Structure 1
Amino acid sequence: MAGEAAPRRRPPFRRLSQDRRREEIIEAAIEAFGRRPEPEVSIDDVAREAGTSRSSVYRYFEGKQELYEAAADRVGAELTDRLNEVAGGPPSVQMMRRLELYVDFLERYEVGYASLLGVGSRQAPEATLSTAQKVRDEICALTYRTLRVEEPSGTLRSTVQAWIAGVEWSGTEWLRTREPARPVLEAAMAAQFTAMLAAAAVFDPLCADRVAWLLRVEPPDAPFGGLVRAVAGTFDVGMVGDLARFLSHRPI
């Protein structure tokens, strides 16, 4: 009859290779877990996201837990691949670029970030915690390479690991509050690493050597130079006098 709308045609079924279909299901799971916490996502949700059937999902995965672990592995690999792409330039420029990419990653997986990588939770599945630790280990290795360190000391290892834990916490808190502004967040994360390395230099020759190296190789217009000027700018005349009092003290 005239005026009747034509019936909607279903999209043609796509015949995909087994590997490609599995990849599409994992990608759909990442999207689903990235929007909602894991307990709220069902196999049916993932199937709809992938444009396939529930039975097709079960053809490749025994259940939601196995699918969740595959999604977590993929997300962890995606993050480390992105961070590994950064190369060249002064150390502080490399660090700032990696922090920018890290916050990009946080924003993409805003809801699912903590659960997909087990951040801030000891109740996450063992496989998820293992993936999270692999990501942390890779970030540690990247930081050592940026500092030109092949054999980190125990103090440097603990300093870098503590900094990474702080970055994770700051990231999850920022997702919750959106404070401070993103550029401030990234600059603060970088500054915290510099401050922690400088404090560790008091106790560890390798850390002291790397602080001296940074002072030699960093150009004045790089983030490290900006941080030094900003810190110096916080000292007024009275504070300089107090600092001189501490520096002049000689223990008995």
Structure 2
Amino acid sequence: MTTIASGVPVNPFKQAISQRDRQIGLWLATGDAYVAEMVAGTGFDWLLIDGEHAPNDLRGTLAQLQAIASATSTLPATAKAPHPIVRLPTADPVLVKQYLELGVQTLLLPMIDTPEQAASMASAMRYRPMGNRGIGCGLARSSRWNRFSSYLQEANAQVCLLVQVETVEALNNIDEIAATPGVDGVFIGPADLSASMGFLGQPGHPEVVAAIQKAVARIAAAGKPSGILATQEAQAHQWLEAGVSFAAVGVDISLLSMAAQGLASRFTQTASPVVVSRNGY
């Protein structure tokens, strides 16, 4: 892992998306450190541990972060090391503090509808004078228990805040949300957005797709990178071509489910048909 003088890890994901370098990720929803360790060596740029819709709590997330770090440490020098991202169950300053102390540098916070909410989370991510993050890193993995001697001075530059817009209200405020100081990227949630627009379970509806295309352009106009989850390969390419900087192109538990169903269907006549999720997460 790249480091700066005091040893605080540089955030490679934040660097990449700030330069609009394409970053391809995988969603982790099994809640299992063994799976996280396995997929950490498969070549993705980033892995997202989902605490909103998957059974990942604080300690389970810690185990997966340690597993990813372990896998990364044994990769060949030429191999790509994935950057761990965590989606919290809710945009709460207390949870932000706790997960940052686990050593997470990049957080995805759901259901951000207003620039005021975005500003509050940007403040929660950073120490004073830029924010109001509480100080407790001496007890925590984030500073490696104070082995990073300049952690307090350098942490602000390495944390990365991704805000998730997934409602009509958020779309109406997207220019201001994206322009909020301290917001490093804007992630679009097609599933909840489609429901908010009146098209429940239809993230591929033409009106939803058109709204997302406009959102991507507006985020870019505000000078920020955009991200999305697209489990259909053609759809993922569509969004990348539209200008999305970071895209998750699959979900671990869905890949396992589809592979298992597909294998069963080739050997039995009673197996359920393979269904690829189009609903999003």
Range into which the TM-score falls when normalised by the shorter chain: under 0.3
Give the TM-score normalised by structure 2.
0.25
TM-score after normalising by structure 1: 0.28
Decide which structure has greater helix share.
Answer: 1
The structure whose Rg is larger is 1
